[in-house]
Structure 1
């Protein structure tokens, strides 16, 4: 592939300065095929821990987290207790919400995302704790005013009750301003080689059909702080392009794509277009030229397959015609049996019509 690595200054790598610790908790009602409760801990968008109501325990998901637990066994015990405790609280909360909203059946989901962001350069810490119900924002904590914010009327009763729980509010303040960032710093220290690495992706040009947009697809990069865009004559394009989201891969890396509509590109101008991948902290840009010979497609394979199918159908039709003809011939023979042979000269004439 005609991919160029443009060295802007040098190949040095700068580690990200912002880190995050997030907990995702989900309780479900009316979903027999999934666990009633699921919890996950995520550091810098990498899952490091997991628990659910089926396995009934907390599990580390990264080798460096296992090393941390080995050095501090109480760490896993704390997670196990939080997982068990939250499961009971969430079950009570979702049952209470269903009763208050007159929901007696159906699938209902209660979610919480809480945690903190920490800037290791400025020291700034931002904590957050917010709930969602059935896919919509329900209630969130404002740490500056130490009050709960209810964007929906259905959450006002919860807000008034939680606002009155002063001890819980003070616990939240201490946790999100002090304990959460302390744990995050510990995670960053133990996982430094993994979390602060940089992986460059492989970049490909893809196209489904001759009339489809050309997708510039980058996969295998880390961290997720990246950008991918099309340029023309060195200028970034904002029209006739479609940006996809950054998505996780199973191995902990990420992928993304950006599409270019070819209807806006004249054939003689292809050489003026390229796709650029930028990864935060890496002074290397990956530039991929728009080149017909480098586009990976699937319509050529489809065309061959179509031709083979047509040939197979033609052969099948011919076989069927031959079979039908043979059956007609057999039936005709059965209806018109040959007359008995006469003298030897007549038999000779039938056997040797040319004589």
Structure 2
């Protein structure tokens, strides 16, 4: 556990100063065949909180958090500069779709071309990890390996791009410099602007849910921040690996997060239930939150409609995430590098079948 200093407040909130890993991510997405949706959109995130957005409809880079307006105190031309970067990137990415369609022989239907890039910075160790990858229609196309300073082509159609980009030493040097030097500096600035939001710590409300007496018991934690959390079941203090199913972290509409863990109770004798606990751990908080497996506190369809409401809420959030991230993220991580653009070989040139 990393060092932390916390002011404990009665209730569910803690305000802590703790060592954390911070991230800056950008996603550039061009699409065709999607009705009523911008053909180009770019978004930026700090610690998984959206900070900026620009698209082919608004044609303007604008903040998604009030505290992002503090950036003009250091750079009065920041938003105008970012808008110009966005407008310059838009035709490049739209053109990339057409070139990728030719390269991969996909001419009909919905198509998505994306770049995802960014870095993570540990504010205790100062360690930095960067990444940059391109994708087409939900699959990796070409990925930068910062360790070897070369590009990886997961599919044969990208190999010609890999060969050309690997030969451009100046391009790779700029990439390395951005991800190891410039990117973490921007993280520090943004975290400074949004410190009261990004550095807060909020513990969750935790419920035990069960559809029926024969169903698994779900430990559902919601409303916590940040998203660096662990949720698991234990027996006699030992973590369980059998008879359990763990689910990933999902965002809530208010910027907090939720997470669930299922426990199969069908073979647990009634007298042994008090040996089981659901354990929640949050980054920056020393104390674990324990919830004992207790039939008296379990919410079921028979006892309450809360389970149905919560289940629908979880499903609704999941559907929304899939709908949004399905086009913003082709897989995971992010022309062009706002807010400090790097002149790199145009992808449209490298994806041209003539190249």
Given the two structures, how large is their TM-score scaled by the length of structure 2? 0.78
Residues 77-96 of structure 1 mapped to structure 2, 5 A cutoff:
77-96=80-99
Cα distance in 2 between the residues matched to 1:13 and 1:264: 41
Give the structure 1 partner of residue 28 of structure 2. Answer: 25
The answer as to whether partners of 2:19 and 2:122 remain within 8 angstroms in 1 is no
Q: SS state of the match for residue 288, structure 2? A: strand
Can you give the 5+ residue segments of structure 1 that lack an aligned partner in the other structure? 1-8, 303-355
Larger CA deviation: 79-88 vs 35-44: 79-88
Cα distance in 2 between the residues matched to 1:16 and 1:109: 37
Q: SS state of the match for residue 275, structure 1? A: strand
Give the structure 1 partner of residue 123 of structure 2. Answer: 120
Aligned counterpart for 1:174 among listed residues 173, 177, 187: 177
Q: SS state of the match for residue 202, structure 2? A: coil
Cα distance in 2 between the residues matched to 1:72 and 1:282: 35
Query: Structure 1 residue 150 and structure 2 residue 127: aligned?
Result: no
The answer as to whether partners of 1:21 and 1:184 remain within 8 angstroms in 2 is yes
Give the structure 2 partner of residue 54 of structure 1. Answer: 57
Give the structure 2 partner of residue 339 of structure 1. Answer: none
Cα distance in 2 between the residues matched to 1:177 and 1:32: 39
The answer as to whether partners of 2:208 and 2:219 remain within 8 angstroms in 1 is yes
Larger CA deviation: 199-208 vs 113-122: 113-122
Structure 2 CA distance for partners of 1:81 and 1:167, relative to 1, 3 Å = farther
Cα distance in 2 between the residues matched to 1:181 and 1:300: 51
Cα distance in 2 between the residues matched to 1:147 and 1:110: 21
Q: Of the two structures, which has the highest relative contact order with CA contacts closer than 8 Å and spacing of 6 or more?
A: 2
Residues 234-249 of structure 1 mapped to structure 2, 5 A cutoff:
234-249=237-252
Structure 2 CA distance for partners of 1:165 and 1:81, relative to 1, 3 Å = farther
Shift of 1:65: 0.8
Q: SS state of the match for residue 114, structure 1? A: strand
Deviations 1:221-267 (A, max 9, x none): 11111101111122111110100110111111110000011112112
The answer as to whether partners of 1:15 and 1:197 remain within 8 angstroms in 2 is no
Cα distance in 1 between the residues matched to 2:245 and 2:256: 22
Count of residues paired in the alignment: 294
The answer as to whether partners of 1:49 and 1:61 remain within 8 angstroms in 2 is yes
Give the structure 2 partner of residue 189 of structure 1. Answer: 192
The answer as to whether partners of 1:240 and 1:264 remain within 8 angstroms in 2 is no
Give the structure 2 partner of residue 75 of structure 1. Answer: 78
Residues 209-228 of structure 1 mapped to structure 2, 5 A cutoff:
209-228=212-231
Can you give the 5+ residue segments of structure 2 that lack an aligned partner in the other structure? 1-5, 9-14, 306-355
Q: SS state of the match for residue 111, structure 1? A: strand
Q: SS state of the match for residue 68, structure 1? A: helix
Q: SS state of the match for residue 264, structure 1? A: coil
Cα distance in 1 between the residues matched to 2:118 and 2:304: 49
| Structural RMSD (CA) | 2.0
Cα distance in 2 between the residues matched to 1:14 and 1:107: 46
Shift of 1:147: 2.5
Structure number with the higher helix fraction is 1
Give the structure 2 partner of residue 137 of structure 1. Answer: 140
Cα distance in 2 between the residues matched to 1:158 and 1:98: 15
Give the structure 2 partner of residue 199 of structure 1. Answer: 202
Cα distance in 2 between the residues matched to 1:84 and 1:102: 28
Q: SS state of the match for residue 215, structure 2? A: coil
Deviations 1:199-241 (A, max 9, x none): 0000001112222111000001111111011111221111101
Cα distance in 2 between the residues matched to 1:109 and 1:53: 15
Deviations 1:26-57 (A, max 9, x none): 11122123221121111111111112222221
Higher Rg of the two aligned structures: 1
Structure 2 CA distance for partners of 1:91 and 1:164, relative to 1, 3 Å = farther
The answer as to whether partners of 1:21 and 1:43 remain within 8 angstroms in 2 is yes
Aligned counterpart for 1:266 among listed residues 269, 279, 301: 269
Cα distance in 2 between the residues matched to 1:10 and 1:301: 36
Cα distance in 2 between the residues matched to 1:190 and 1:91: 33
